[in-house]
Amino acid sequence: MSSQLDFIQDKSLWDIMEEMLNATTDTLDKREGSVIYDAILSLAVELADFYTIRVPQICNAFQILKATGDDLDNWAADLGLSRMSAEYTYYNVLIDTTDETLVVGEILRSHATNEEWVYQGDNIVQSIATGNYSENNGTILEPSSPYNGIVSVKISSINAAGREIESDEELRVRIINEISSSVGGSVIQYVDLTINQFKTSDNRRLFGCLVFPCGRRCGYVRIMPCYEDYVAHDAFPIHNTRWATVEDCNQLKEYIDPIDDEGYGYGKAPIGHRVIVEQGEYYNIAFLIYVVYADTTGIEVIGERVINGVTITEYAVSDDLKQAVQDATAKCMKNVIDRALFTRTNSMPDRRGNRYRMVYATSEHVAALEAIKPSFPNVLGFQLYYTPEIPPETEWPYQGRYIEASDDFVPIIMTHRQAKMFRVLDTSVAGRTRYADVNDVEW
């Protein structure tokens, strides 16, 4: 039975040309050599290449049995596996010497095979190249430097066998075996246990979590729980999803998989599953947001700043406007975190396998700020900067990254070896003159 991919691959260049020419009106000259014919031919060549080469490559990347290279490595990473790297071969050697010792790092050569080895100390040599080993027992080696007290160096046995880098087929077999050996439990079940069933000793529930299948074999699960919290920061409430404390992580561990009987099913985890509960890290971010006024009449001047030879006048910002800007920022960051976590308020995060993707998109931030403009008619727009820390006030325009438009973003790819969460450190709001006054300033 043929697939849709077969249908696409069976299309030749001339099949595509015929379809495109038939779709072009007959009132135009479509003969070979015409402008229309040549223009369509160039596009048809690209489409034929895309259909026969690129589309199959993309489709193969999503199939374990056909994925290769980095695509297959991604499949392996989803199961906590990684491609075995190439390794050197190590040999034991017998050194016949009187009163002299080989220097570590000395190159030794075999005149019989022209191969080279590197002396590692403790009567062990390493092959120059990685890859499959050969016995070489009894091979006589000669140091590249003169040694008066060394009579002979001879390989006696293999100490550790080397290997070539793991091939796609070898890795594919391990992936399939890993999938075949998986038992019990799913990510969704661990999410339900963590955020819906579990309560801390003081009767609190967790807000969300990350769940990673990890380890070198199936049955190992890592959970990173967090709370939803609103804390006072710089005199305004800001959403702060925070990682659970170490104590709460320990309580969750005892609830799901007691440490003294780990893997035996005495908790909520099925038999054979070992659960690791731990904290993640924070990705701190601070914002400097300038309000740009359409008319500054009657607004208090709070200072001036000279940037690139241009004097910028800065004005006061009302408490209402400052609060609205800070609330819009807090809402934007809450949305960023909610999309990356399993929580009680959303369904599925942006996730594939054991990877989560957390992205702060400036387009969402800009849209949130634009939404408050109707409530403040004198606001012409905003200028945004962000930085992963709070720099000194005088250095903001230089250390902060200026937000241009919707294509600016901060991506964080999280795996079972790393999990980070956005945390707003500060949102400073200041006033400025209209855009016309700062057009010549290089930000």
Is 210:194 a contact under the CB 8 Å cutoff?
A: no
CA distance 143 to 360: 59
What pLDDT is recorded for position 250?
93
Q: What is the Cβ-side half-sphere exposure of residue 13, based on CA atoms within 13 angstroms? A: 9
Q: What is the value of pTM for the model shown?
A: 0.52
Q: How is the beta sheet containing 281-293 ordered, strand by strand?
A: 301-307, 310-315, 420-432, 281-293, 379-387, 401-402
Using the predicted structure, report yes or no on whether residue 390 has a pLDDT greater than 70.
Answer: no
Confidence band of 234 (pLDDT split at 50, 70, 90): very low
The DSSP bridge partners found for residue 379 are 293
What pLDDT is recorded for position 215?
54
Tens digits of residue pLDDT in 33-54:
888 888 888 888 888 888 888 8
Confidence band of 232 (pLDDT split at 50, 70, 90): very low
What pLDDT is recorded for position 272?
79
CA distance 28 to 31: 9
Using the predicted structure, report yes or no on whether residue 360 has a pLDDT greater than 80.
Answer: no
Using the predicted structure, report yes or no on whether residue 323 has a pLDDT greater than 80.
Answer: yes
User: Which residue type sits at 337?
Assistant: I
Q: How is the beta sheet containing 409-414 ordered, strand by strand?
A: 351-352, 355-361, 409-414
CA distances from 16 to 10, 11, 33, 53, 186 (A): 11, 7, 17, 15, 46
Tens digits of residue pLDDT in 266-318:
898 888 788 989 888 877 788 888 888 888 888 888 887 776 666 778 888 99
Is 92:156 a contact under the CB 8 Å cutoff?
A: yes
Domain-by-domain residue ranges, the chain?
4-61, 90-160, 182-277, 281-437
Is 23:58 a contact under the CB 8 Å cutoff?
A: no
Mean pLDDT of all residues in 143-164:
84
What pLDDT is recorded for position 217?
54
CA distance 205 to 207: 7
Tens digits of residue pLDDT in 5-21:
566 667 788 888 888 88
Using the predicted structure, report yes or no on whether residue 256 has a pLDDT greater than 90.
Answer: yes
What pLDDT is recorded for position 353?
57
What pLDDT is recorded for position 395?
59
